[in-house]
Structure 1
Amino acid sequence: MATFTSSLPDDLLQRLADYAQKLSLPKNKLIENALNLYLDHLKRAEYVKSYRVAGEDEDILMVAEEGMATYLKQIDDEAR
């Protein structure tokens, strides 16, 4: 594990200390958990954005619709 040093505003550092004490966690573990949650949030936001962009792309929509038609035909054929 690597060591990381950073500066934080005094009020944020106090909030960190308060929650660390309240949760009985070391401050570095609380920061690690918070950073993991935030980075996961950013990744989900990128994923959502990519679908939003894809939803506005006519070529992607056409391919998706063609694929869906093929998929529905396969389901229909298997049901018979």
Structure 2
Amino acid sequence: MATFTSSLPDDLLEKVSSEASKLSIPKNKLIEKALRAYLDYLKRLEYAKSYRMASKDPEVLEMAEEDMGEYFKQIEENEAR
């Protein structure tokens, strides 16, 4: 594990200290969990953005519709069994 040193605003560090104390965990673990959650959030935003962009592309929409037709066909075949 690497060591990282950073400065934080006093008010934020006070909040981190307070929450870490409430949760009975070290401050660095709280910061680690918060950073992981934020990075996951950014990844989800990127996925959402890509889906919005894809929804405006006629070729992507056509491929999705074709694949959905095939998907529904497979469902009907499975239900018939």
TM-score range, shorter chain: 0.7 to 0.9
Partner of 1:11: 11
Partner of 1:39: 39
Residue type matched to 1:50 in 2?
S
Moved over 6 A (4+): none
Q: Higher mean Cα deviation, 61-70 or 24-33?
A: 61-70
Q: Distance in 2 between matches of 1:26 and 1:74?
A: 52
Equivalent residue, structure 2, for 1:50? 50
TM-superposed CA distance for 1:68, in Å, is 2.0
Task: In structure 1, list runs of 5 or more residues that go unmatched.
Answer: none
| Counterparts in 2 of 1:66 and 1:27: CA distance versus 1, 3 Å | same
Match of 2:66 in 1: 66
Query: 2: CA distance between counterparts of 1:8 and 1:33?
Result: 16
Q: Helix, strand or coil for the counterpart of 2:7? A: coil
Secondary structure, in 3 states, of the residue corresponding to 1:6? coil
TM value normalised by structure 1: 0.87
CA–CA distance in structure 2, aligned partners of residues 47 and 17 of structure 1 = 33
Cα distance, 1:37 vs structure 2: 0.5
Q: TM-score, normalised by structure 2?
A: 0.86
